[in-house]
Structure 1
Amino acid sequence: MFNRNWHQRRLAHGFALAAVTSLALTACGSSDSASSDSGLASIVIAEQSNGGVTTGMLPHLADQLGFFESEGLSVEKYVSVTKGSDAIAGLMSGDVQVAHIGADGIVAASQGGPVVGIGANTDASIWTVVAGADVKTWDDLRGKTIALGSVSDITRSVFDRLASEAGLNPKTDLEYVALGATPQRVAAVKNGQAAATIAAYPPAYGLIESGFTDLGFTPSGGGAPILMTTDIEASKRWTESEPDQVVAYLKAIAAARQYVQDPANADDVAKRTSEISGESPESIKKALELYYYDKNSDSGLFPADFHHVDGAFDATVQAYLDLGLLKDSISEDEYMDYTFADRAIADVQ
């Protein structure tokens, strides 16, 4: 644990629920890049957030800006999933090559599933706590209903920790309701179904700008646990049969990340991301400022070498064990294969 004076802008670390379930993938649009007929290697990408600033944006930008094409890759299609476990099912079947999701793959891998982590996207949470206008402090949440992704996933674990730091007993002072992804949780707070939720930007801006309360990323004086938030996970079949494609993919993602991290490109990134996600360019630029340009942002945000920050993997595994989602522990060396990332970074330097 660690504290920051700027706690209201500090990113609370988190991760997503992992469970191996049946595949429920829906195509959400083909890429504008060249098809496999042009000689480019075709890949399928699963995503939970179409063009989301913290997860889905980088693959789309790498596609639009020609970074995939320059690396010999073509995106056959993006598939939209409501749960990380659906993306994992796609990776395990081989229908999907890569996904930017939570650490969902560790459960499958611990059971022998053909899934491998190829890089860290973030080890810092994308969530702030937003609440109804009648909620002014954390103590005002006592006895209220909180909208979470699930009552047994990482949103539950993160909110429990934050509530405890705020002096609340999450078992007796709060009631949780499972409502899925950020848009559904935000809608629940907006219509009064829930008093608060944890939400990512830019969706959180809509609530906050309309008069709802932003309780920040951590309670005053609180510290954020180090946990994996977004992992780049791949089909083991793909990594073993096409290792050069995996390296090429990460090189293109690194190029897109460098493009986003340059404030001079903010207008272009906001415009492109708005067209993909449906969020306003103005709210996307605010999110870029927070997640990409804020000098106070932790190094766990988009680590340059694609390696998880020290302790993040082990802390995440322990949290999964505590939630009962993992029966057997798994080590970072057993799950993460950083050789592709190391090759990619060496090539772009």
Structure 2
Amino acid sequence: MQTLAALIKEKPPYVTILIAYTNAAPVQDQVVEIGEVQYQKSDRGIPDALRTYMADYEEAIRFLSSWSDVPTTVAFQSDLFSDSAMPRLLNYLIRQRTTLGPQLSPSYGKLALRAACPVSGCDLEEKHGLLNDYEWSSSGRSIIVFRCPNHGPHTIRLSHPAEVARLEVNAPTYNLLRSMIHLFDTTKHHIRVTGADYSGMHQETLLHRPLAAWSAATGLARGRTPHILHAPLIVVWSGTKLSKPLYVRDGAHASLKYSGMDRFCSYAQLRDRFGGNGDEGLRIIWDIFIGIFARSRYEGRAEIVGNEWHFRRLPVCIMYESMAMDGYILLCLHGNLFHFVTPVVTLPTDPPTS
């Protein structure tokens, strides 16, 4: 990163990176259906489920922050819901729920607001907000009534910040609220980096349309739009992103294991493969991606204009020979997708069938 910054004549602005963990995903084997209503326990309610992988994340982020010389902090969904502007924004969403519900959750038509049952050891939450009721206090703040199948109704009062911080939402609602918070903050320039699977019509329908309606109705953030960088996805032969099958089913990408390339799917395996203090394998991947920018500039595919990198003549296909990685890595940048293959790896003649 320092090498890239040195190529730019003007000093780049001060940058920090915030890693926002979505710890409201359902825990495997903790989703139940009762009377055609889905309930779940989230990672947030079962700390051991989150701690299983957090050490790996923290270690990898520490290395990347050190190599890039960019300070990094982390946050969870509760931190976003602790923002002082959140009750005001939630009030707006609740008052507009008959319109926003079908937009943000087309399959169910409801605002997917949820909160875990506060009874110790329960932590069940209704996933899609189908049973939620909304009441209003004398101050005009909403009171959300949730229902636990085991312990009955419980409430979140928007006038109580500690209770608001317990709320969880589905991904489209989370993206909308996060963008609203960023637009409220005029002291910083927020650039959100997310996967390219959130680009295109998905983003237009589930984010920009309700944002524009909110600004027009309230007069807030008028003329401002969120700045979002859609990072390239690493995809497999089927076109799906590499990470998706890993948490959808067990044993996904078994062929990578047969070819000895399963370390691309697991930081723990990458670290174990190279030993040392854990950074050797990750450093190889880091150098490869930094090399994309350097080589693209050398070959005339990129140039620096002011403080910006301008790319042209895509797709870019670069092959790296890495003895440490046991062969070649072919990275093809096409639009906003990275494809990687290992063309010189020989698979077993008869791979296991189980």
Alignment TM-score, normalising by the size of structure 2? 0.24
Structure with the higher strand share, 1 or 2? 2
Ranked by relative contact order (alpha carbons within 8 Å, sequence separation 6 or more), the top structure is 1
| Structure (1 or 2) with the larger CA radius of gyration | 2
Alignment TM-score, normalising by the size of structure 1? 0.24
Structure with the higher helix share, 1 or 2? 1
